[in-house]
Amino acid sequence: MDHQAPPFFKHGPSPLTRFMFFALLSLVLMAVDARLNALNSLRQTLSVAVAPLQRLANYPAELLDRTGSFFVTQGRLQNENTAFRQRQLVQAVQLQSMQATQGENAYLRKILGIHQRRGESMVTTEIVYTGRDPFSQKIIVDKGSSHKIQAGQPALDDIGVIGQVTRVYPFSSEITLLTDKDQAIPVEIVRNGTRAIAFGHGQDGSLELPFMAANADIQNGDTLVTSGIDGIYPAGLPVAMVSKIERNAAFAKITCTPSAGVNRHKQLLILIGEVRPVQPPIPADPDADSKASVQKKKGH
């Protein structure tokens, strides 16, 4: 009985034969390609045909790398942005501090110039804090009686009069501002020389010229300076500017805005010198002439 497979199922040469054939064919092709470079065009054609398959095979690895790079880049950018914002904030604070220092230096140069121009004895002080009483306009400075400061001496800034020393301690002093309701200062209008007394209005930071006639020669924008007749404030120091005039039947209500102020800087000047309050005039004695004539007759 024949057990061989029918011809339909025959597989051709044996595997070993096929292996030997293809190995020999590969060697021949390699030798021909090395000698004659005959397969170069075939190799290029195959590389073009296989390129899409290679890119498709490499796409998952590239996608994974790109995804990882994206998250790494995002994290790095966020860290860089955070560091940049911090540096920007620090630099902004430093710039503001530098600008404040430059402004303070310019203000101190102005004060020094005033000291040199006037040639008077002055003390430069710094504001420590404002008064605790909300109904008064007072400040405390860091110089006192140990620096020859006395009550009654005027306080100035680079523009004009701020106020007057009202209380002195060994190492600090209290200055009452011109805008305090209990303060008054003799002034003179620069335009026409009219004299008046300016009183502090209180919390709104203004001055008033009371008891001025309704037809007084005063205009908005008039500059007020110290008249010097009180013996405390030197003449010619800027005090205020007329900002509002209300003329009634008998008197005019005149409001003035101070020229100087303590809201811009921390340093100010105090004029050092003996305070010479004005003495009231001695009233004339109506019997003085008769007494003198009687004594003269007795002498004869």
* Residue 9 belongs to a domain: no
Using the 3D structure, point to which of 62, 96, 130 is the last residue of a domain.
Answer: 96
Q: Model's pTM, two decimal places?
A: 0.56
Note whether 90 and 129 are same-domain residues: no
* Residue 290 belongs to a domain: no
Mean pLDDT of the chain: 78
Determine the pLDDT at residue 242. Answer: 93
Note whether 133 and 239 are same-domain residues: yes
Q: Which of 231, 219, 228 has its CA nearest to residue 256?
A: 219
* Residue 20 belongs to a domain: yes
* Residue 227 belongs to a domain: yes
Determine the pLDDT at residue 197. Answer: 92
Note whether 92 and 129 are same-domain residues: no
Determine the pLDDT at residue 236. Answer: 86
Number of separate domains in the chain: 2
State the pLDDT confidence band at 196, using cuts at 50, 70 and 90: very high
* Residue 300 belongs to a domain: no
DSSP letter assigned to residue 10: -
Is residue 282 pLDDT above 60, yes or no? no
Percent of the chain with pLDDT over 70: 76
Note whether 141 and 267 are same-domain residues: yes
**HSE of 36 in the Cβ direction (CA atoms, 13 Å)?**
8
Radius of gyration of the chain (CA): 50
* Residue 259 belongs to a domain: yes
**pLDDT (mean) for 274-295:** 46
163-to-61, 88, 97, 139, 261 alpha-carbon distances in Å: 81, 42, 29, 10, 9
DSSP letter assigned to residue 174: E
* Residue 195 belongs to a domain: yes
Note whether 242 and 141 are same-domain residues: yes
Tokens for 98, please give them.
């530098």
* Residue 258 belongs to a domain: yes
Full residue range of the structural domain in which residue 221 is found: 122-271
**pLDDT (mean) for 111-131:** 72
Whether 186 contacts 178, CB under 8 Å:
no
CA distance 117 to 269: 13
Note whether 60 and 201 are same-domain residues: no
Note whether 174 and 234 are same-domain residues: yes
Q: Which of 88-92, 108-112, 229-233, 255-259 has the highest mean pLDDT?
A: 255-259
Q: Which helix (H) or strand (E) holds 75?
A: helix 40-118
